[in-house]
Amino acid sequence: MTVNPFTKSREESAVMQFADIYGYRALKQQFVHLTKSGQMPHAVLLEIQEGYPGLHLAWAWAQYIQCQSPTDEDSCGECASCKKVAASAHPDVIFVYPVIKAAQDETPTERYFDEWRMLLERSPYITDQDWLEVLEAGNSQPVIYVNEINSLLSRLSVTTTEGGWRTIIIYQPERMNDAAANKLLKSLEEPPAETLFILVSAHSDRLLDTILSRVQRFELPPMTEAEMREALTALHPELATDALEAMIPLVDGNLSDALRLLDSSASQDKLQEMAQQWYDATLRADILRLKLLSEEVDKTGREGAVAFLKLLMQLVGRQWHRALSGEARVGELRVNNKAMGACYRLLEEAMREIRGNVLTKMVLFDTFLRMLLALRN
């Protein structure tokens, strides 16, 4: 039975199995096959979207590799090795992650180990922003420093502590500085025996091409509607069926977005009401109302804002479909294929920027104005 990762106590959280993560059955089976078949790669890249459980899938895979009594589906979760991995205490499972203000430290991550454990125990469905908040980074940008990679390579130069494979999980590898990236590249070119590097990134396009060429890439897909339904029913049994079914199309298979939306102040009715306000304000070219609306949507949080934009995309998409048969006008608004296409692309761009931590209120107001221009020209 799948464990609810949002309700486990600290003591219960000392398990990290594939079963702790909803969905991704085919990918989990692929990791099991690679491990059991003896065809392990030396470096893989898990390409994720913000909120996808790539880090915890890597962690669960590391536990499976170390498990003394693995099944055909998962680690046992009971042996000494499993317990060490789950407690981040196994000497042959090493985490590398970006930190702040530690360029001179010999091993920068050691200063932030408690914060790292806090992030891991929070939930499998974390975002890059979650790590920034745990770090209390403020305006500082986390970095994987070259000293960290030097320390890692020094550890890899000696025999594994408990024999067998060693797993290196690198979270947000795109945050390596140039010196660190080049150091890691050398190790990927001549990998140590029985060592698996797992890079987990929501921004793989920022990695060096030479690094990308030396990893086996796995792209995590969106969860299916059936997987979303199963997860949300288990995690929020109080959620009414109609509310659940209305939410699923808004989050595009991203369980993290769904969970955060449920925790935000943005109810389905509220989102619908704000969408109607946007329509009315756009129809009247009411710039002040659009500005106030951007502030109101901003108060629902990043996930609420993204869900609102997805709702607008549904509305625009329906109008776009109607416009394919010709041009129509609603008041002064031009409803044609070109205008609807422009609005759809503006909404997609806005969602990317909000997920990339650009100031939500500013993005929303700018998008509303640009959509208004597209519809009136």
What percent of the chain has pLDDT above 70? 89
Please give the average per-residue pLDDT across 282-292, as a whole number. Answer: 91
Please give the average per-residue pLDDT across 214-239, as a whole number. Answer: 94
Per-residue pLDDT at 290 exceeds 80: yes
Please give the average per-residue pLDDT across 116-141, as a whole number. Answer: 89
Could you tell me the pLDDT band of residue 9, with boundaries at 50, 70 and 90?
very low
Please give the average per-residue pLDDT across 21-37, as a whole number. Answer: 95
Alpha carbons 179 and 183: distance in angstroms, whole number: 6
pLDDT in tens, 318-344: 655 555 555 555 555 666 777 777 888
pLDDT in tens, 149-190: 999 999 988 877 777 899 999 999 999 999 999 999 999 998
Residue 318: predicted pLDDT: 64
192 burial level (CB within 10 Å; 0-12, 13-18, 19+): middle
| DSSP characters over 191-246 | PPTTEEEEEEES-GGGS-HHHHTTSEEEEPPPPPHHHHHHHHHHH-TTS-HHHHHH
Please give the average per-residue pLDDT across 22-44, as a whole number. Answer: 95
Please give the average per-residue pLDDT across 180-201, as a whole number. Answer: 94
The domains found in the chain, sorted by start residue, are 18-219 (3.40.50.300), 264-376 (1.20.272)
CB-CB contact of 287 with 369 (8 Å): yes
Residue 4: predicted pLDDT: 39
Q: Which tokens hold the place of 151?
A: 């320390």
Q: What pTM, to 2 d.p., does this model score?
A: 0.77
Alpha carbons 368 and 377: distance in angstroms, whole number: 14
Which region holds residue 177: left if phi is over 0, alpha if psi is between -120 and 50, else beta? beta
Angle of helix 178-189 relative to helix 146-156, nearest 10 degrees, comes to 20
Please give the average per-residue pLDDT across 44-53, as a whole number. Answer: 95
Residue 6: predicted pLDDT: 41
pLDDT in tens, 208-225: 999 999 999 999 999 999
- Looking up tokens 């998409």, which residue turns up? 317
Lowest mean pLDDT among 6-20, 29-43, 259-273, 335-349: 6-20
